[in-house]
Amino acid sequence: MTEDLCTPAPARRHGRAARMAERAAPLAEAMRPVRAGLEGGQYRPLTDAGVARIHEAALTALEEIGLANASPSGVAAMTTAGALLGEDGRLRFPRALVEDMLALAARDITLHARDPRFDLHLSGARVHFGTAGAAVHVVDLATGSYRDSTAQDLFDAARLVQHLDNIHFFQRICVCRDVTDNLEMDLNTLYACLSGTMKHVGTSFSDPAHVNPSFELLHMVAGGEAEWRARPFVSNSNCFVVPPMKFAEESCITMEACIRAGMPVLLLSAGQAGATAPAPIAAAIVQAVAECLAGVVYVNALAPGHPAIFGTWPFVSDLRTGAMSGGSAEQALLSAGCAQMHRFYGLPGGAAAGIADSKLPDMQAGWEQAFTNVLAGLSGLNMVYEAVGMHASLLGFCPESIVLGDDILGQALRCLKGIEVSEDSVALETMRAVCLSGPGHYLGADQTLKLMQTEYLYPALANRMSPKEWEEAGRPELLPRATARKAAILAASGTTIPPEIDLEARRRWNFRFHA
């Protein structure tokens, strides 16, 4: 459990204060009420028959429609495996080929972090929440306006995530718009993420030619190529398809290079229902599943068993305007349905939740982020991307919303953990004592005191005071408290890169952010 940098040092321990301090002390990881990798799967918007129909429709789409625009190297790999290249230039995938590649695909994978405490074990319905989104603006609460995002913003966001327990991984959350050279932008993106957090990092590359220089940097941070390959702590977020049903040639070449270099990949299909994906929610899932199954064939034709995340990631359109609607109930259903398909195939999967269409961290943003994250978690989605910080349907991110989102995710994880029913939890001894010979309440019962830290989760920022207490405390408001916590974390954290490596990296490359 990371330290809350806003919590003052404890007072001298004696009497009641000592007991309170003991109960407030950090718990062992296994005792915490919430943690990374809790099991989901309780929520299933698709029936078993619906899952089977989507699977059949996806296989038929791959056999009859196929995908266009594969790179020559991709065509060679996939046709050697058994795909068919038609006269129309589209690759089609026989059912038997897809089934064979599914049998080879990696399952129960681990996404490593530089600090092993933060390793992500993707098996079954284990759930992990993290960032993503590549916003081009920052929501500046001081002015209430949007400004261009920078490399410093990305570094600061990574530092926040490092110290927020309920955010389990960090994928690029904004674009370094102050860096105009594309290679420098990719290097700044990668290094800002690594400098800010020891958790698993996701990144992308704007050009295949940028992969090799980026791996020079990765090997430097890891301590060598062998050390990197033993514990690859960065994954490639790869939009390998351009929906509907076309490969993205440059992204595929990038993916091939990352696979050769030992980097896990996120096979990301991001169609928009009603625009680049069919309008029916079920059909949008069919297309995303078909495209990602093509990705499974591609990856395993190149390197059988290479770690890949099944990134069915369809978005929703507001069909009145065509605008994206990431905070909608339909988006929550899409992501939850995709989670069922990941589990049907037994593959590690990821999709989006937690996106706010609201422009500021207000009540609308709160409900949009809360219910989409809760449903994603309850569906058993292994990797919940874009879970915190994102506004304006991914066009902007807000640092304070990352801090607020940690509270939201804590509550989502508590819902995910569910209710323990055991001999101890339903035993009647305490009830009997309180009702028959005790004070008539449970406030001071040993059972209450024992469970208050393990059964119950307490938000860091949300206000649970009575109106009288709130008045006496000076009417504390949520956003100023989030700003204060953000400032405290950033003031107390620097770079996670050892000084000698940081000095050498900055000597070789031009980085635009500083601790």
Q: How does pLDDT run across 54-104, given as a tens digit for each residue? A: 999 999 999 999 999 999 999 999 999 999 999 999 999 999 999 999 999
Q: How many CA atoms lie within 13 A of 193 on its CB side?
A: 31
Q: What is the 3-state secondary structure (H, E, C) of 123-138?
A: CCCEEEEECCCCECEE
pLDDT of residue 412: 96
pLDDT at site 29: 76
Q: CA separation (Å) from 278 to 283, 288, 309, 374? A: 6, 10, 23, 25
In our burial notation (b when 16+ CB lie closer than 10 A, e otherwise), range 480-495 reads ebbbebbebbbeebeb
Given this model, what pLDDT does residue 3 score? 45
Residue 431 has pLDDT above 50, yes or no: yes
Amino acid 13: pLDDT:
46
pLDDT (mean) for 285-299? 98
Query: How many other CB atoms sit within 10 Å of the CB of residue 80?
Result: 9
Query: Domain 102-417 adopts which CATH fold?
Result: TIM Barrel (3.20.20)
In single-letter form, the type of residue at position 371 comes to F
Q: Band of the pLDDT at 237, cuts 50, 70, 90?
A: very high
| pLDDT tens digit sequence for 420-430 | 999 889 989 99
Structure tokens at 46: 């698709």
- Give one word for 133, left, alpha or beta, with left for phi > 0 and alpha for psi -120 to 50: left
511: nearest Cα among 221, 266, 222, 235? 221
Confidence at residue 38, expressed as pLDDT on a 0 to 100 scale: 92
Please state, as a whole number, how many other Cβ atoms lie within 10 Å of the Cβ of residue 188: 24
Pick from 263, 260, 259, 279: nearest CA to 271: 279
Question: What tokens appear for 441 in the block?
Answer: 């309440």
pLDDT band at 7 (very low <50, low <70, confident <90, very high): very low
pLDDT for the residue 17 = 62
Q: What angle (nearest 5°) sits at the alpha carbon of residue 364, between those of residues 475 and 125?
A: 110
Rounded Cα distance, 320 and 299, in Å: 38
Sequence ranges of the domains in the chain: 102-417
Average pLDDT over residues 390-402: 97
Note whether 11 and 17 are within 8 A (CB). yes
Which pLDDT tens digit goes with each residue over 136-166? 999 999 999 999 999 999 999 999 999 999 9
pLDDT tier at 322, thresholds 50, 70, 90: confident
Q: Which residues of 117-155 are buried (b: 16+ CB within 10 A; e: fewer)?
A: ebbbebebbbbbbbbbbbbbbbbebeeeebeebbbbbbb
| pLDDT at residue 22, as a whole number | 58
Q: What is the pLDDT of residue 9?
A: 43
State residue 20's pLDDT score: 56
Biggest CA-to-CA distance, the chain: 86
> Dihedral of CA 339/342/343/347: which sign?
negative
| Distance between CA atoms of residues 252 and 211, nearest Å | 12
User: Measured between alpha carbons, how far is residue 213 from residues 153, 176, 190, 374, 509 in Å?
Assistant: 23, 18, 11, 39, 10
Query: How far is C-alpha 336 from the chain's CA centre?
Result: 14
Other Cβ atoms within 10 Å of 33 Cβ, number: 18
Residue 232, preceding peptide bond in cis (omega within 30° of 0): no
Exposure string for 447-469, b = 16+ CB within 10 A, e = fewer: beeeeebeeebeebbeeeeeeee
